[in-house]
Amino acid sequence: MSTIRAPKNVFSNIGLMSYSTLLFIVAGTGWFATGYLGAKAGQEIREDSESTITLLRAHFTAEFDKAERAVQALSGSPWILPALVSRKDPDIANANSVLDRYNSSLNASATYLMDGNGLTIASSNRNDPDSFVGKTFQFRPYFTQAISGVPGRYFALGTTSLKRGFYASSAVRDTDGRIVGVAVIKRNIDEDEVALGGYPYFFLVDPNGIIFLSGSKELNFRSLWPISRETRLALLQSKQFGEKGFDAILPLEVSDGMDIPFNGKNYLVSRKVIDPDGWSIVFMAPTERILIYKSVGVVVTLWMCTVIAVPFIINYRAARSAEKVRNSEARFRELFNTMKSGVAIYRPADNGQDFIITDINPAGERISQVTKQDIVGRSITAAFPGVREHGLFDVMKQVWRTGVHQYHPVSLYSDNRLSLWVENTVYRLASGEIVAIYDDVSDRKRMEAEILTLSITDPLTGLHNRRGFLSLAEQQLKLSERNRRRMLLFFADLDGLKWINDMLGHEEGDRALIEAATVFKATFRTSDIMARLGGDEFAVLAIDTDEIQSEIFTARLQHLIDTQNNLKDHKYKLSISVGCACYDPEKPCSINELMAQADKLMYVHKQGRKLFSF
């Protein structure tokens, strides 16, 4: 019997060592895979943060640039210089009219004019209790910058209004080029906080870390990181942010890519400078996804280790092996069924050209809007007809051939049942099966699309706003120059809007703007670019047209205005002043130059009370 027992012991030791070695290899591979998943989750968080911060950075930069361009145009207005030179009431009144127009067009907080000593001589808020007229802002950096010939920009709390604002300033020069005053546009940024409701840890901070704008209002005017006593005293003396405490919410200054704990959680910091003076935007993204992805790696590793260990358990503990397998399967099934991400498992079809669905978890059923009974056993192309069109099928074939898992970025999936945005990560198991882990990110994509649409659309009329118009017009100018085709730019002003607002109410004024937009939509083609630039100003870029066709458009526009005015119960006469400029690709110019030409012709028409001028 001893001669029989010895070989069994040798076999047992060899089997134990073999399985132990294999289990060690799988566990080590799972350890590295889990680390990779954690790194991948970190990369996804960084990419999401980069996308968010890029979108918000573009929004703020565009708004600030618009104010800077507008104040430069304002300083060159022919109505501004006479007010500084003569100081006579008619010239001051003309300057106030221009300031009102710019203030309304930009929806600014205040637009004002200072002389060379910083004394405000004209302002759009001249009739308000906190009027700037007669007050001096010589101590403000935006004045000292502009009076020295450098365009000024400044973020601060208003000393009079106590409201946050972005100040853009530009020097006013006389005919000899001497600087005689400064024009300023203040943009109130309180309204920008509405767009930050979904980003509680988004901050606009100055170079010292003072929070000027945040997704959490209670954090405004605190310091993102500690500042020195000297810096605090200097800020208080400058009155830039009023008399605040500047208490720090983080223990140290943050930089782009830093991991930092805050309120019991870990966050990944993205920080981008948006201003020559060192102002930056900071976004803190939570990192829970890293733990989730690592958990998936641990689960898969545990499952594979369990599968490998089953034969060993059968050989040595036959009586207990079945129970352990059942417990292991139950744990896996519980995790599989309770995961918030969709998980689907596939095996290659016999023809090698398709994949058969072998399992799907409840989250996968919910996201894909299917039932397990309907799709298990079917090919993926039969169950999801749109899978070939959006790249996922090719990713699955690549993973199956190479064994290297891949991340399939956000893609639009649609068929006759559903349309949604999903993110997929595809793996090949040691068994040769393919596992796809996916999440529905449709809400996030819709939010991003809504933010983009809101940033380029006028909410009242549905036309493009100034930003959207300028962006699309710049593209059309490039196409026109390349294709050698002319275009017409119509610059229009709704006459009497102030009278309608004052006499009939702002609701009627909004209705007049909507009527004007309706007339423009009926006059021009859907391929033309139409916009409400702000206030009572409209612009239309008519594609592939020339001077001869302008008469057709203007006649159609006037006919539609007359038709609108003949309606019963019309409380006012709709009247639109229009100027038209032609873009000649043989003599290219910028969109701002073309708008200036049309604007000047529009004012000729308005002053001369003619129908149209070109």
Q: What is the pLDDT of residues 482-531, one digit of tens each?
A: 888 899 999 999 998 999 999 999 999 999 999 999 999 999 998 899 99
What pLDDT is attached to residue 3? 42
Report whether 205 contacts 212 (CB < 8 A): yes
pLDDT tens-place string over residues 399-453: 888 888 776 665 656 565 666 777 888 888 888 888 888 888 777 777 776 676 6
* CA angle centred on 469, ends 465 and 473, rounded to 5°: 180
Computed on alpha carbons and rounded to an integer, the radius of gyration of the chain in Å comes to 33
pLDDT single digits (tens) 323-351 = 776 776 778 778 888 888 889 899 998 88
Is residue 117 domain-resident? yes
431 residue type, one letter: S
Give the residue among 64, 272, 58, 278 at the shortest CA–CA distance from 166.
64
Give the domain-ending residue among 188, 204, 226. Answer: 188
CB 458 within 8 A of CB 464: yes
Q: Is the pLDDT of residue 7 over 60?
A: no
Lowest-pLDDT choice from 124-133, 399-408, 444-453, 598-607: 444-453
**Measuring CA to CA, which residue among 186, 185, 150, 183 is closest to residue 81?**
183
Confidence bin at 197 (pLDDT 50/70/90): low
d(CA 45, CA 42): 5
Please state the pTM of the whole predicted model: 0.46
| 90 shares a domain with 55 | no
Q: Looking at the structure, do residues 386 and 501 belong to the same domain, yes or no?
A: no
| Alpha-carbon dihedral sign for residues 186, 187, 189, 190 | positive
Q: What's the average model confidence in pLDDT over 258-274?
A: 88
C-alpha 447/C-alpha 419 separation (Å) is 16
> Same domain, yes or no, for 519 and 477?
yes
Q: List C-alpha distances in Å: 24 to 16, 293, 301, 315, 537.
A: 12, 22, 11, 19, 73
Asked, for residue 102, whether it belongs to a domain, the answer is: yes
Q: What is the pLDDT of residues 36-75, one digit of tens each?
A: 887 887 888 888 888 888 877 887 888 888 899 999 999 9
Whether the per-residue pLDDT at 1 is higher than 90: the answer is no
Check whether residue 595 and residue 496 sit in a common domain: yes
Whether residue 87 contacts residue 100, with contact meaning beta carbons closer than 8 Å, is answered with: no
pLDDT of residue 593: 92
Residue 311 confidence (pLDDT): 67
Residue 552: give its domain's CATH number. 3.30.70.270
Structural domain span for residue 88: 76-188
Q: Is residue 93 part of a domain?
A: yes
Q: Which of 271, 286, 301 is the last residue of a domain?
A: 286
Question: Are 419 and 468 found together in one domain?
Answer: no
Residues 593-605 as b/e (b if ≥16 CB within 10 A, e otherwise) read ebbbbbbebbeeb
**Which domain-ending residue is among 445, 469, 489?**
445
Shared domain for 530 and 409, answered yes or no, is no
Tally the domains of the chain: 5
Q: Is the pLDDT of residue 17 over 80?
A: no
Rounded Cα distance, 539 and 532, in Å: 6
Quick one: 465 and 550 in the same domain? yes
pLDDT at 518: 93
Q: Is position 450 within any domain?
A: no
547, 548, 553, 558: CA torsion to nearest 10: 100
Residue 451 located in a structural domain:
no
Element at 214 (helix H, strand E): strand 211-214
Tens of pLDDT, residue by residue over 527-573, are 899 999 988 999 999 998 888 888 889 989 989 998 888 886 778 88
Residue 216 lies in a domain: yes
* pLDDT above 60 (res 454): yes
- Cα–Cα distance, 72 to 217 (Å, whole number): 32
Does 613 map to a domain? no
CATH of the domain at 110: 3.30.450.20
Q: Find the range with the poorest average confidence among 97-101, 454-458, 577-581, 584-588.
A: 454-458
- Higher per-residue pLDDT: 306 or 583: 583
Dig out the tokens for 39 from the structure.
């790194």
Segment 130-149 shows an average pLDDT of: 92
Is the model's pLDDT at 215 over the cut of 60?
yes
- Residues 499 and 604 occupy one common structural domain: yes
Helix then strand then coil, % of the chain, to nearest 5: 50, 25, 30
In whole angstroms, give the CA distance from residue 538 to residue 433: 60
For residues 462-487, one letter each, b for 16 or more C-beta atoms within 10 angstroms of the residue's C-beta and e for the rest, the string is ebbbbbbbbebbeebbeebeeeeebb
Q: Higher-confidence residue: 447 or 106?
A: 106
Structure tokens at 274: 């948006």
String of DSSP letters for 461-475: TSSB-HHHHHHHHHH
